[in-house]
Amino acid sequence: MRPFIGVGLLFLALVSTACVGAQGPRVRVATATQAELQAVENEDVVWYEFQPGDVVPVHFGFIGAVEGGTDGPAGLRAKQRFFLVTSKQGPLRLSFDGETLVGGGSMQAIIAPVARKDGKGGALLWMLYMGESGDAEAELDKILAESE
């Protein structure tokens, strides 16, 4: 009976770790000062907060098998409250309630080769999906339908 209890407690601990957010300082990106950002640089876990309406410049850079980036920032506008949760021991995670971390389907990259408008070769459409539904294709279809 005791081994079963031990396995059950181990399973519960693993599930709790996966679902409940790790503790760490919180910084609202849109209003953060340089001092606030520097203060959390060495933390193991940091919760970067975004509120509806926050507009944050985003710089894109690619390293590894590809190389490059944008000359200037693109504008990211938050449509709802969410957190990007960084950890030195794991991948970037998302939280929509500020307490629990969501699964991998809530953040996906969509990459599609497309023809350039000038007819001189191809280009890449590279989109990052972050959403509670976990259904990037449905969200993309919704955006495309609204733009028609």
Number of domains in the chain: 2
Whether 11 shows a pLDDT value over 70: the answer reads no
Of the candidates 37, 19, 29, 27, the residue with the CA atom closest to the CA atom of residue 99: 19
Whether 59 and 37 have beta carbons less than 8 Å apart is answered as: no
Range of the domain at 15: 1-101
- One domain for residues 47 and 13: yes
- One domain for residues 137 and 108: yes
- One domain for residues 1 and 11: yes
- One domain for residues 3 and 72: yes
Strands 55-58 and 61-62: unpaired
Give residue-wise pLDDT tens across range 13-68: 333 344 456 799 999 999 999 999 999 999 999 999 999 999 999 998 999 999 99
Whether 12 shows a pLDDT value over 50: the answer reads no
Compute and round to an integer the Cα radius of gyration of the chain.
Answer: 19
- One domain for residues 79 and 25: yes
